[in-house]
């Protein structure tokens, strides 16, 4: 543990996006670190940046540069030493990261479920309902279950999307249960059963990155690293890497812990939801070969309308 005297000599700068949810995640990270080390939170300075992904709100993420739009400004600050570590939503971090960075911590994972706002369930959506989402996974899952529905692009933070819904731009939309909880809006919408509606890879997890050669910060972050959450998030990221998916690739995955093993269920879709392939695998924690085997099985059984959106492992 870092002592009070040590930390007073060496303060830390935490980088984050400026959105309300990102700020809430940064504050949670700061407070967990302060509690773990017995220090005043003031020793961890939050430094916020407006990410490209937050500035561009009128197009789907996949159309304007993908997940890098959430990370590139913070990556530049981290590489230059302007910040000591960066806090991200794990699901928004590219699968292949610069070798100069390391995952210093994965915080305890929150509720992984999606929340449907505007109807009590997918089945309860009115015939021909217009549903707002910019996530290929959510769009494909919806159209697979309800091909009568229409999907329109919804970008923006939680408040923006709820305002669009209230303005009548759609009949319903999806939000992440974890994000709503972190924003104190737990009464919003209806959670969907994660066993039936599989979440996004790494959903509900906060990832903290630092420079790989920064031993001081790595040791500081290790105090809040959650072993089970790290194992499941890294396994889901390994699945993504083996599939060769990107922001255009509709993939859903749910991972359960069973002692020292993980059980992973994953589904791949065609973007229009017409086709789906699903599989399950059980493997040891921290075994990247397990997710790779599941990826190979899914790709082997995927019809061309699905497979074209995945390149497979490099």
Q: What is the pLDDT of residue 66?
A: 45
Specify the higher pLDDT residue, 10 or 215: 215
Question: Could you give the count of Cα atoms lying within 13 Å of 1 in the half-sphere of its Cβ?
Answer: 10
Catalytic residue selected from 54, 75, 84, 92? 92
Task: List the chain domain ranges.
Answer: 4-106+205-225, 114-191, 237-307
Note whether 114-191 and 237-307 share their fold.
Answer: no
pTM of the model: 0.90
237-307 is a CATH 3.30.360.10 domain: no
Q: pLDDT tens-digit profile of 41-57?
A: 999 999 998 755 444 54
Q: What is the pLDDT of residue 89?
A: 94
Q: What is the pLDDT of residue 305?
A: 95
Active site residue 84: no
Q: pLDDT tens-digit profile of 132-186?
A: 999 999 999 999 999 999 999 987 888 899 999 999 999 999 999 999 999 998 7
What DSSP state is assigned to residue 107? Answer: P
Q: What is the pLDDT of residue 187?
A: 79
Q: What is the pLDDT of residue 175?
A: 96
Q: Beta strand 85-89 with 101-106: parallel, antiparallel or unpaired?
A: unpaired
Span 56-79, average pLDDT: 65
Share of the chain above pLDDT 70, in %: 89
**Candidates 3.30.429.10, 3.40.50.2300, 3.40.50.2000, 3.40.190.10; correct CATH number of 114-191?**
3.40.190.10
* C-alpha pair distances (Å), 282 with each of 51, 259, 264, 290, 308: 37, 11, 6, 7, 26
The structure tokens 């939801």 sit at 273
Q: Is the model's pLDDT at 7 over the cut of 80?
A: no
Q: How confident is the model at residue 61 (pLDDT cuts 50, 70, 90)?
A: very low
The 10 Å Cβ neighbour count of residue 262 is: 24
Span 115-140, average pLDDT: 97
4-106+205-225 is a CATH 3.40.190.10 domain: yes
Q: What is the pLDDT of residue 149?
A: 98
* C-alpha pair distances (Å), 34 with each of 98, 187, 203: 28, 29, 25
Q: Is the model's pLDDT at 204 over the cut of 60?
A: yes
The answer to whether 100 and 75 have CB atoms below 8 angstroms apart is: no
Q: How confident is the model at residue 313 (pLDDT cuts 50, 70, 90)?
A: low
Of all residues in the chain, what percent are helix, strand and coil, respectively (each to 5)? Answer: 40, 25, 40
Q: Is the model's pLDDT at 65 over the cut of 70?
A: no
């Amino acid at each position: 543990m870092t002592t009070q005297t040590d930390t007073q000599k060496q303060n830390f700068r935490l980088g984050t996006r400026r959105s309300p949810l990102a700020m809430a995640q940064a504050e949670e990270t700061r407070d967990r670190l302060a509690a773990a080390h017995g220090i005043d939170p003031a020793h961890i300075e939050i430094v916020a940046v407006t990410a490209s992904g937050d500035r561009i709100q009128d197009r789907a993420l996949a159309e304007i540069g993908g997940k890098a739009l959430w990370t590139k400004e913070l990556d530049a600050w981290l590489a230059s030493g302007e910040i000591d570590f960066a806090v991200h939503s794990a699901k928004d971090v590219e699968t292949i990261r610069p070798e100069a960075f390391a995952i210093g911590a994965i915080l305890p994972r929150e509720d992984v479920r999606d929340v449907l706002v505007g109807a009590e369930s997918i089945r309860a959506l009115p015939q021909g309902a217009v549903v707002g989402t910019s996530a290929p996974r959510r769009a494909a899952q919806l159209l697979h279950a309800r091909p009568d529905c229409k999907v329109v692009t919804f970008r923006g933070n939680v408040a923006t999307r709820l305002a669009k819904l209230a303005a009548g731009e759609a009949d319903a939309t999806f939000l992440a249960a974890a994000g709503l909880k972190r924003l104190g809006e737990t009464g919003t919408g209806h959670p969907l059963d994660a066993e039936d509606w599989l979440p996004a890879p790494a959903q509900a997890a906060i990832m903290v990155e630092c420079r790989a050669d920064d031993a001081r910060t790595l040791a500081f972050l290790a105090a809040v690293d959650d072993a089970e959450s790290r194992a499941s998030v890294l396994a889901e990221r390994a699945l993504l890497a083996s599939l060769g998916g990107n922001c255009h690739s509709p993939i859903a995955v749910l991972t359960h812990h069973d002692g020292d093993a993980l059980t992973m269920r994953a589904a791949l879709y065609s973007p229009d939801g017409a086709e789906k392939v699903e599989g399950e695998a059980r493997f040891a924690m921290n075994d990247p070969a397990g997710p790779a085997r599941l990826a190979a099985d899914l790709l082997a059984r995927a019809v061309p309308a699905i497979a074209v959106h995945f390149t497979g492992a490099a």
